[in-house]
Amino acid sequence: MNSYFNISVDASKVNTGIGLRDRHLRNEDYFAVKSYPELMFSSAKISRTPVANTFILTGDLQIKGIAKALTFPLTMEKMGNEYLFFAKFNINRKDFAVGGNHFFMGDDVEVNVKLSVFQN
């Protein structure tokens, strides 16, 4: 398969649904958006699965300048000239130096991704 994903997300646009928390995540202890304005993912491999429109995506996730290999399922829906991709996976926030040591905060974070791609 000759497809790939190179995705960058404006770290200041991360949305948890709670505005106060979102503003707090921009601080140095978390995403440090002044020093690291983007969260990035670059795919290395996309594999089909036996399930229609479902793939396994492998690549590097980079947060705060720290890159880690990641593999997760990806589903696709086609709506007219738009392709919607959905993914849900967990990461350990400490792997990316996010959040420091807090006894009230878990280390595993669930990440939900919805990506829209338009075909010309």
**Cβ-based neighbour number of residue 57 at 10 Å:** 22
CA dist 46 and 10 (Å) reads 24
- Report pLDDT for 71: 97
The predicted-structure confidence for 75-91, as pLDDT tens digits, reads as follows 999 999 999 999 999 99
The predicted-structure confidence for 83-115, as pLDDT tens digits, reads as follows 999 999 999 999 999 987 877 778 999 999 999
CA dist 18 and 80 (Å) reads 33
Calculate Rg over the CA atoms of the chain. Answer: 16
Contact 54, 75 (CB under 8 A): yes
- Residue 91, classed as helix, strand or coil, is strand
- Residue 103, classed as helix, strand or coil, is coil
The predicted-structure confidence for 5-46, as pLDDT tens digits, reads as follows 899 999 999 888 899 989 989 999 999 999 999 999 999 999
- Which residue carries 């497809």 as its tokens? 3
CA dist 68 and 61 (Å) reads 5
